[in-house]
Amino acid sequence: MGTAIFMVLMVCGYWYTSRDMSSRLKIKRSFGWDVYFLIALYGCIFVLQGVFATGIVWLILLAASAINNTFALTRLVHARWHVDFMTWSFLGIQAPVVIMLAFAVLFCVYRSNWAGSARLTASSRRDLYQRLSRSNGIEQMLLQCMEDGELAWITLKSRRIYIGMIHAATFEYASTANIVLIPMLSGYRDSRTLNLAVEHNYSRWYHQHQIDFMSKPKTALAFRKVIMVEQIESLSLFDPASASALAMGEAGTGEVRTDASP
């Protein structure tokens, strides 16, 4: 009996955490034993709900037995349906345990698939991302860039630099965590001066060829770059008005090379 309860507990916890959006994002940010304890926590919640539901069934049978014994609604003089419920067994397991596990599975399936909270709206999804990104500086800054439309300055471990708009970001799996960037400028840091040497001016290319997010046959998304998070060395907001490192064409600011084509 204990094995059956433990198996249902773990299966319900795993099913819920793999289907519910908020739980799935939380578990993807957990490691080691935290994953098992999180699954067990949700499983315990469903099992406890099954216990409460089974208790309600027992109270209903108790009330029905008392009403029957008082008003003689059936041929039974002393109905003890609540006692029979507690002593009845199914496949060697007591009926309350079977019903408790059945309730736990039903609650789990309902919460995972049919409940309104299982389907996040655009606003609730954004609030969830904001709440989860508070503990991660990269995610918090990326979310700010996507919401406010600000440009991001990304420096890779290879000293490659990209400046552009964040189109999307994926952090569900650590091995495939990536950022989708619409580049505006790209270049590298000089090994001697560490100044930015601009190689490609995408924004000029977009302007000259009238490319935007709605243009045809080619949009700005055709130039997107997928950058693995593990390759990022630093990430910051980029303000063209105050970026002295991008004093393009001005003397005394280091090597700056521009190219109109990407």
pLDDT tens, position by position, 9-29 = 899 988 888 877 667 767 766
Q: 73, 67 in Cβ contact below 8 A?
A: yes
Q: Evaluate whether residue 255 is within a structural domain.
A: no
pLDDT confidence of residue 177: 81
Range of the domain at 55: 2-118
Q: Evaluate whether residue 163 is within a structural domain.
A: yes
- For residues 177 and 66, state if they share a domain: no
pLDDT confidence of residue 105: 92
Q: 53, 31 in Cβ contact below 8 A?
A: no
In the chain, how many domains are there?
2
Q: 229, 177 in Cβ contact below 8 A?
A: yes
**Backbone phi and psi for residue 109, each to the nearest 5 degrees, phi listed first:** -65, -40
| Each residue's pLDDT tens digit, 46-96 | 999 999 999 998 899 888 888 887 776 666 667 777 778 887 777 667 778
Q: Evaluate whether residue 97 is within a structural domain.
A: yes
pLDDT confidence of residue 257: 45
pLDDT confidence of residue 216: 85
- For residues 8 and 114, state if they share a domain: yes
Give residue 145's identity as a one-letter amino acid code.
C
Mean pLDDT, the chain, integer: 78
Rg (CA), the chain: 30
pLDDT confidence of residue 258: 42
Cα gap 194→201, rounded to integer Å: 19
pLDDT band at 252 (very low <50, low <70, confident <90, very high): very low
Secondary structure (3-state) at 90 = strand
- For residues 237 and 199, state if they share a domain: yes
Cα gap 100→48, rounded to integer Å: 9
Contacts for 158 with CB less than 8 Å, ≥ 6 apart:
188, 231
> Is residue 117's pLDDT more than 70?
no
Q: Where does a domain end: 118, 146, 181?
A: 118
